[in-house]
């Protein structure tokens, strides 16, 4: 082991997609066969070099391991799994002759191919980033299977930079894994820790040999209370893991990083006592922990700069927290980010359209690196040495508090005057009888909202944005599109129609663009998964609705048909979850402001003759806090905001909601509390279970468990859909069941969409007849 001292400041990770999404372009070109492996590796190496230079220019030392290497072709969890050889059996034949896992196998595990399902994808803690879920069983044979990390260390060395490789740690890798299909019932991947650790030891030795002085092992599992393993079991695993890894002679110094919240008390004690050299803590969310034995020889990296949001924030308060960390008596304290910066865009200086005043309140990744560098200087020379920077940040914060729009004189009194009545609709029975006017059959058929976003639609939107189509031309284009979608649905015989959402680039950004209090970036891309990125809007001020948003489109669609057309809105929780949200007031207050804007939109939709309104909340589950103690409060404000948005609707208006996941059981009480008349949910991965969960929960409202998986181009047959419906109507009262796909159709093509919806309508009709005959 080296006795290298840790630098005074670092970041836990940096965006890897490139300022212009260079990696996305290259990877997708490679997948399409337009860029060979060598070309792809070249783009990746260039990007890594540019990143190192950028980070050095922003103030991280090139010689002292302050610069992390968090490059990934797809996902950091897959990187770790592939490195230790933990790909499931179905990818075995893609290994090289020497058993190593080449990039082609890595991509196949991520994306699947004709014969093989990819690894499942799920949310990384409570972020919008998705990782690939490792599959580990008793049969998994761990072995060092890739030298990619080592090659990247050597590449940086050759370029004059001592990087700190960043690898998902052994406890988190296993804690996030699921059992392979071959594993016996109840198998726990964490039970394989002892066999996995020798491979991590070998990996550390390889890092050392390649020239790494420090390595960062990410262990965010140690902050979560939402994993199958308990915090105590995770802490015990960490104690065992780092006793063994720390004990190796031939290794770089080890930093264990635990972002995304407060370490459990057990895990904190385990890491403090472990024979490792440094621990990184999320002080932004977690706060300074209690003193613990074993800190005297260690460096503590105080994650005081928020890695997940875009605010410049309170640098002086960050300094205070670092100072408090020093009181714990560790060997040294360094400044850091609370998490990797992969959750924020690259550079706010790259946003020419944003108001300069707003820009002065923001910090994207590059600005956060500078903040860390400033705090590091402070640690070295004392507070006086950075007094100007701290004062400038405080001044920007004060300016933000006082700026027009941040506190809007019209919005606040309205929110303050709300009473419990504003959150409740008429009794369910009253609504049900009023909604009989809709004249819907049993097993009503509908879709989730969007129809395929064709190349034509995207091209027209881009042309309109460039000014090549006039507003009137673009409007006409969208109307034609709506007419086609309405005609198609009538021909298919669907019961509740939609306008198709052709006017929306994105279900959140569209509303952000049309509400006051939001700003939209030009280059603010953030990786969502693999090569996909989203561009979250910035919710910076009090939210209000200057004018109706969706009413014109919905009313036009309704004018074309006698069937009911569903109005389509994105709910307050999802709008918050998929934006960068102001951090100067509780989320619940912000959610209520969004809810009030939606409430007005619903009133206008009703006035325009819309009788069914869907408020999508696909993010309700994903925003659920990791700590169980925080969950009740979250559910209270999130459910409250949905109710505030919808409770103004008259009893005859049927309120729908849509949720994009099948872990129905986890939040079933909250879903029931939303008090929607109809809830459509995804059921693709576990058809039967979802229906069983609905039944056992006693959920009493309309419910549409998806019967058509829109994540794949496969067309489900009439028999298959009818089978699912038969099962639904035997387990649930028939009056409760709706027939719909899993989610919106925007990513699908028309051919498979039409074929699938034909089958969906035929299946609904067939089952209706069977039921009528029996009755």
According to DSSP, the residues that pair with 534 across neighbouring strands are: 526
Separation CA 636–CA 619 (nearest Å): 15
* Partner whose binding site includes residue 227, from ligand GLN, Zn ion, none (CB under 5 to 8 Å by kind): none
Q: Which two tokens stand for residue 425?
A: 């609709």
* Partner whose binding site includes residue 66, from ligand GLN, Zn ion, none (CB under 5 to 8 Å by kind): none
Q: Which range in 167-175, 446-454, 593-601, 623-631 contacts ligand GLN by CB under 6 A?
A: 446-454
Kindly state whether residue 655 participates in binding ligand GLN, applying the rule CB under 6 A: no
Output 610 or 743, the one with its CB closest to Zn ion: 743
Kindly state whether residue 449 participates in binding ligand GLN, applying the rule CB under 6 A: yes
Shortest approach of Zn ion to residue 638 CB, angstroms? 17
* Partner whose binding site includes residue 175, from ligand GLN, Zn ion, none (CB under 5 to 8 Å by kind): none
Output 611 or 621, the one with its CB closest to ligand GLN: 621
What strands lie across the sheet with 678-681, from one edge to the other? 566-570, 612-616, 654-659, 678-681, 702-705
Q: Which range in 487-495, 617-625, 696-704, 762-770 contacts Zn ion by CB under 5 A?
A: 617-625
List of long-range contacts for 49-56, beta carbons under 8 Å, 24+ apart: 49/159, 50/18, 51/14, 51/16, 52/156, 52/159, 52/161, 52/163, 54/366, 55/11, 55/14, 55/369, 56/161
* Partner whose binding site includes residue 449, from Zn ion, ligand GLN, none (CB under 5 to 8 Å by kind): ligand GLN
* Partner whose binding site includes residue 640, from Zn ion, ligand GLN, none (CB under 5 to 8 Å by kind): none
Q: Which two tokens stand for residue 186?
A: 């109840």
What does residue 511 show for φ and ψ, rounded to 5 degrees?
A: -70, -40
- b/e per residue, 650-689, with b = 16+ CB within 10 A? ebbbbbbbbbbbbbbeebbebbbbbbbbbbbbbbbeebee
Shortest approach of Zn ion to residue 680 CB, angstroms? 8
Kindly state whether residue 660 participates in binding Zn ion, applying the rule CB under 5 A: yes
In 352-419, DSSP assigns E strands to: none
DSSP codes joined into one string, 700-737: -SEEEE--S-TTSSPPPPHHHHHHHHHHHHHHS-GGGB
- Which of 110, 507, 551, 610 is in the footprint of ligand GLN by CB under 6 A? 507
Output 129 or 423, the one with its CB closest to ligand GLN: 129
For 686, residues 6+ apart whose C-beta sits below 8 A from its C-beta are: 662
Q: Which range in 436-444, 526-534, 722-730, 741-749 contacts ligand GLN by CB under 6 A?
A: 741-749
Segment 438-457, which members bind Zn ion (CB under 5 A)? none
Q: Which range in 272-280, 456-464, 581-589, 739-747 contacts ligand GLN by CB under 6 A?
A: 739-747
Separation CA 312–CA 319 (nearest Å): 13
* Partner whose binding site includes residue 616, from Zn ion, ligand GLN, none (CB under 5 to 8 Å by kind): ligand GLN
Output 192 or 621, the one with its CB closest to Zn ion: 621
Separation CA 677–CA 393 (nearest Å): 48
DSSP codes joined into one string, 495-513: SBB--B-TT-SSTTHHHHH
Separation CA 250–CA 233 (nearest Å): 28
Kindly state whether residue 741 participates in binding ligand GLN, applying the rule CB under 6 A: no
Integer CA distances (angstroms), 622 to 125, 531, 656, in order: 9, 21, 20
388 burial (CB, 10 Å; 0-12 / 13-18 / 19+) is exposed
Kindly state whether residue 626 participates in binding Zn ion, applying the rule CB under 5 A: no
The residue annotated as part of the active site, out of 30, 343, 658, 711, is 711
Kindly state whether residue 448 participates in binding ligand GLN, applying the rule CB under 6 A: yes
Output 19 or 702, the one with its CB closest to Zn ion: 702
Output 65 or 450, the one with its CB closest to ligand GLN: 450
Q: Which range in 143-151, 276-284, 574-582, 737-745 contacts Zn ion by CB under 5 A?
A: 737-745
Within 219-359, residue ranges assigned H as helices are 231-246, 265-273, 315-326, 356-359
Shortest approach of Zn ion to residue 120 CB, angstroms? 17
Output 557 or 745, the one with its CB closest to Zn ion: 745
- Which of 621, 658, 748, 768 is in the footprint of ligand GLN by CB under 6 A? 658
Kindly state whether residue 450 participates in binding ligand GLN, applying the rule CB under 6 A: yes
What does residue 581 show for φ and ψ, rounded to 5 degrees?
A: -105, 145
Do residues 479 and 472 touch, judged by C-beta distance below 8 A? no
DSSP codes joined into one string, 178-214: EE-TTSPTT--GGGGHHHHHHHHHHHHHHHHHHT-SE
∠ CA 172-618-641 to the nearest 5 degrees? 110
- Which of 212, 267, 660, 678 is in the footprint of ligand GLN by CB under 6 A? 660
Output 299 or 509, the one with its CB closest to ligand GLN: 509
Shortest approach of ligand GLN to residue 505 CB, angstroms? 12
For 398, residues 6+ apart whose C-beta sits below 8 A from its C-beta are: none
Segment 550-569, which members bind ligand GLN (CB under 6 A)? 568
3-state secondary structure 82-143: HHCCCCCHHHHHHCCCCCCCCHHHHHHHHHCCCCCCCCCEEECCCCCCEEECCEECCCCCCC
Q: Which range in 410-418, 616-624, 664-672, 686-694 contacts Zn ion by CB under 5 A?
A: 616-624
Kindly state whether residue 746 participates in binding ligand GLN, applying the rule CB under 6 A: yes
How many residues line the site for ligand GLN (CB under 6 A)? 13
Shortest approach of Zn ion to residue 767 CB, angstroms? 23
Kindly state whether residue 620 participates in binding Zn ion, applying the rule CB under 5 A: no
Do residues 686 and 662 touch, judged by C-beta distance below 8 A? yes
- Which of 616, 663, 709, 752 is in the footprint of ligand GLN by CB under 6 A? 616
Output 530 or 618, the one with its CB closest to Zn ion: 618
SS3 744: coil
Kindly state whether residue 743 participates in binding Zn ion, applying the rule CB under 5 A: yes
* Partner whose binding site includes residue 223, from Zn ion, ligand GLN, none (CB under 5 to 8 Å by kind): none
Shortest approach of ligand GLN to residue 616 CB, angstroms? 5
Shortest approach of Zn ion to residue 674 CB, angstroms? 15
- b/e per residue, 140-152, with b = 16+ CB within 10 A? bebebbbebbbeb
* Partner whose binding site includes residue 238, from ligand GLN, Zn ion, none (CB under 5 to 8 Å by kind): none
Kindly state whether residue 508 participates in binding Zn ion, applying the rule CB under 5 A: no
- Which of 618, 702, 704, 716 is in the footprint of ligand GLN by CB under 6 A? 618
Q: Determine whether 656 is an active site residue.
A: no
Q: Which residues bind to ligand GLN, rule: CB under 6 A? A: 448-450, 501, 507, 568, 616, 618, 658, 660, 743-744, 746
Q: Which residues bind to Zn ion, rule: CB under 5 A? A: 618, 660, 743
Catalytic residue positions, numbered: 711
């Amino acid at each position: 082991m080296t006795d290298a001292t840790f630098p005074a400041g670092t970041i836990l990770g940096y965006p890897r997609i490139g300022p212009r999404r260079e990696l996305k372009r290259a990877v997708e070109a490679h997948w399409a066969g337009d860029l060979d492996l060598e070309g792809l590796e070249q783009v990746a190496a260039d990007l890594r070099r540019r990143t190192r230079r950028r980070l050095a220019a922003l103030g991280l030392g090139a010689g002292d391991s302050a610069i992390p290497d968090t490059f990934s072709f797809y996902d950091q969890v897959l990187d770790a799994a592939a490195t230790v050889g933990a790909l499931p059996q179905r990818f075995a034949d893609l290994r090289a002759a020497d058993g190593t896992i080449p990039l082609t196998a890595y991509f196949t595990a991520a994306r699947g191919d004709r014969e093989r399902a990819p690894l499942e994808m799920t949310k990384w803690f409570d972020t919008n980033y998705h990782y690939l879920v490792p599959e580990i069983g008793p049969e998994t044979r761990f072995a060092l299977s890739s030298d990619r990390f080592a090659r990247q260390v050597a590449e940086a060395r050759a370029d004059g930079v001592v990087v700190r490789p960043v690898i998902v740690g052994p406890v988190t890798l296993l804690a996030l894994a699921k059992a392979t299909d071959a594993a016996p019932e109840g198998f726990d991947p964490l039970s394989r820790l002892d066999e996995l650790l020798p491979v991590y030891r070998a990996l550390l030795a390889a890092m050392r040999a390649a020239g790494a002085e420090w390595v960062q092992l990410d262990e965010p599992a140690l902050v979560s209370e939402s994993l199958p393993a308990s915090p105590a079991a995770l802490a015990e695993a960490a104690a065992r893991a780092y006793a063994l890894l720390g004990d190796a002679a031939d290794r770089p110094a080890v930093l264990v990083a635990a972002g995304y919240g407060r370490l459990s008390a057990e895990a904190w004690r385990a890491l403090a006592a472990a024979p490792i050299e440094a621990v990184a803590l999320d002080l932004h969310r977690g706060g300074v922990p209690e003193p613990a034995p074993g800190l005297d020889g260690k460096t503590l990296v105080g994650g005081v700069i928020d890695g997940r949001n875009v605010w410049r924030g309170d640098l002086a308060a960050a300094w205070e927290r670092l100072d408090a960390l020093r009181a714990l008596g560790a060997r040294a304290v360094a400044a850091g980010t609370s998490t990797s910066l992969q959750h924020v865009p690259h550079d706010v200086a790259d946003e020419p359209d944003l108001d300069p005043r707003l820009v002065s309140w923001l910090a994207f990744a590059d600005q956060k690196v500078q903040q860390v560098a400033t705090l590091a200087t402070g640690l070295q020379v004392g507070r006086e040495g950075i007094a100007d920077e701290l004062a400038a940040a405080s001044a920007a914060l004060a300016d933000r508090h006082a700026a027009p729009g941040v506190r809007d004189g019209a919005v606040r009194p309205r929110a303050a005057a709300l009473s419990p009545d504003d959150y409740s609709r008429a009794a369910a029975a009253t609504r049900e009888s009023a909604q009989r006017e809709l004249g819907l059959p049993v097993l009503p058929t509908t879709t989730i909202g969007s129809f395929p976003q064709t190349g034509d639609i995207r091209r027209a939107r881009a042309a309109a944005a460039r000014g090549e189509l006039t507003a009137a031309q673009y409007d006409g284009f969208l109307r034609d599109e709506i007419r086609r979608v309405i005609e198609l649905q009538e021909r298919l015989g669907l019961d509740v129609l939609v306008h198709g959402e052709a006017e929306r680039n994105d279900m959140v950004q569209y509303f952000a663009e049309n509400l006051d209090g939001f700003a939209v970036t030009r280059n603010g891309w953030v990786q969502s998964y693999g090569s996909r990125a989203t561009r979250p809007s910035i919710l910076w001020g009090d939210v209000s609705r200057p004018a109706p948003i969706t009413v014109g489109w919905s009313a036009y669609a309704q004018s074309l048909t006698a069937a009911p057309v569903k109005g389509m809105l994105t709910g307050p929780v999802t709008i918050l979850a998929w934006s960068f949200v102001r951090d100067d007031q509780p989320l619940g207050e912000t959610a209520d402001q969004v809810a009030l804007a939606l409430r007005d939109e619903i009133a206008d939709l009703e006035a325009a003759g819309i009788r069914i309104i869907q408020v999508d909340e696909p993010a309700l589950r994903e925003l659920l806090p990791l700590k169980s103690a925080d969950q009740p409060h979250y559910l209270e404000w999130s459910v409250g905001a949905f109710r505030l948005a919808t409770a103004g609707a008259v009893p005859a208006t049927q309120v729908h909601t849509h949720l994009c996941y099948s872990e129905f059981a986890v939040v079933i009480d909250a879903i029931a509390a939303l008090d929607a008349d109809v809830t459509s949910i995804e059921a693709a991965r576990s058809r039967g279970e979802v229906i069983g969960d609905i039944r056992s929960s006693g959920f009493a409202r309309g419910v549409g468990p998806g019967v058509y998986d829109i994540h794949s181009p496969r067309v489900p047959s009439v028999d298959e859909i009818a089978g699912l419906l038969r099962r639904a109507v035997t387990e649930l009262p028939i009056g409760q069941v709706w027939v719909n796909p899993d989610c919106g159709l925007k990513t699908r093509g028309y051919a498979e969409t039409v074929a699938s919806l034909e089958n969906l309508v035929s299946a609904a009709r067939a089952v209706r007849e069977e039921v009528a005959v029996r009755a």
